[in-house]
Amino acid sequence: MELGFDAVGFAAADVALDADHARYTEFVGAGMHGDMAWLAENADVRRRVDGDDILPGARTVVCLARRYQRSKADEATDPPFARLIARYARGRDYHNFLRKKLRRLAGFLRDLGTDDAPVHARPMVDDAPILERAWAARSGLGFIGKNGLLIVPGQGSLLLLGEVVTTLSIPPGEPLTERCGSCTRCLDACPTDAFARPWVLDARKCVSYLTIEHRGPIDVRLRPGVRDHVFGCDDCQTVCPFNASANPATAARLDESNASFRPHERWSSLDLVALLDMSEDEFRVTTEGSPLFRATREGLARNAAIVLGNRGEVDASEALQRAAASHDSKVVREAATWALVHIGKSSATP
């Protein structure tokens, strides 16, 4: 808690994730991971963490959650462009500051060892092939909701996860029972109908995947579902009752004492048209220290064109015509052309 985490759980590391691993291999076998080839790599490694690939002799997985949900009052001050970005990505790239905190925790664990009984610890945040939500659920940190995300009672699902795998033996927590009941709000809210069934997301249709990880054109049938999301999507979380009832004291703490999740100042002077016209150098400067860098310059321009089309932004027609005629990316040219046609149809509607 002193490091800024909001919840912690402990899981026995020397017991394989057989059932969860089977679900993972089924997901990959069905091709639902889309272009994310890295998800299919090291498949056998993801079954356990106590082998040579993660940490030999590991006894415990310390699972941690950092909440990024802010109060509605604080979010109301976000500039218009920031509201087109998933909440976790509006501020600093979380990998950097979470990694530092996890390294400090790993160092603390190592210091608990002695010359005769050394303690080894490996911190991880999205940089190792492990099934982190499965470990978090096993630790009792939270339970997996129908949208596939970890839900921590009292904290919700707007959380960043991290782990420290260690050879130190810590009594494990008890897994929580699933508490979604008959609620299907997250499934119903998905704008592209990306859930094959409860707990199974087909990433190939997910707006977060399409706007961040996917390279190339977005399926025309899915573009209306992108709506005004230029980077990521929170729709299945926004409607979740566990986020609505999350402890407001934690959100207040984030508002008052941590600026990491507040929007970059640069978003105040940025709009969708700027993404269409952005050079590679401008892209690097604009996305420095931001998760938006992952979407690539081409991806953000493509997304901007689709959002402008969905909005029916007639005022953006000139910029879209320019992009359709001369952008150096074929993908962006096609998206801009689609947007112009879509805007034309919208403006013709009485």
How do the domains of the chain map onto residue ranges? 7-166, 192-232+271-347
CA distance 199 to 187: 9
CA distance 319 to 232: 23
Sign of CA dihedral 184, 189, 194, 199: negative
CA distance 38 to 18: 20
The question of whether 126 is a catalytic residue gets the answer yes
Task: Tell me: pLDDT of 251 over 70.
Answer: no
CA distance 298 to 283: 10
Per-residue pLDDT, averaged over 218-238, amounts to 98
pLDDT of amino acid 257: 47
| Beta-strand relationship, 143-144 and 150-151 | antiparallel
Task: Tell me: pLDDT of 107 over 80.
Answer: yes
Q: The whole model's pTM is what?
A: 0.94
Angle formed by the axes of helices 296-311 and 330-347, to 10°? Answer: 10
Residue-wise pLDDT tens digits, 267-326: 999 999 999 999 999 999 999 999 999 999 999 999 999 999 999 999 999 999 999 999
Residue-wise pLDDT tens digits, 91-101: 999 998 899 99
Task: Tell me: pLDDT of 350 over 50.
Answer: no
Residue 239 CB neighbour total at 10 angstroms:
18
Tokens of 198: 């409860």
**Cα Rg, the chain, nearest whole Å:** 21
Which residues make beta-bridge pairs with 232?
none
Query: Predicted confidence band at 347 (pLDDT cuts at 50, 70, 90)?
Result: low
pLDDT of amino acid 250: 61
Query: Predicted confidence band at 247 (pLDDT cuts at 50, 70, 90)?
Result: confident
pLDDT of amino acid 258: 53
Residue-wise pLDDT tens digits, 38-54: 999 999 999 999 999 99
Task: Tell me: pLDDT of 102 over 80.
Answer: yes
pLDDT of amino acid 206: 98
Tokens 């507040």: give the residue.
Answer: 262
Query: Predicted confidence band at 345 (pLDDT cuts at 50, 70, 90)?
Result: confident
Q: What is the mean pLDDT of the chain?
A: 94
User: Exactly one of 35, 44, 111, 126 is catalytic; which is it?
Assistant: 126
CA distance 343 to 335: 12
Q: Is 231 helix (H, G, I), strand (E, B) or coil?
A: strand
Which residues make beta-bridge pairs with 166?
60, 121
| Beta-strand relationship, 60-67 and 150-151 | unpaired
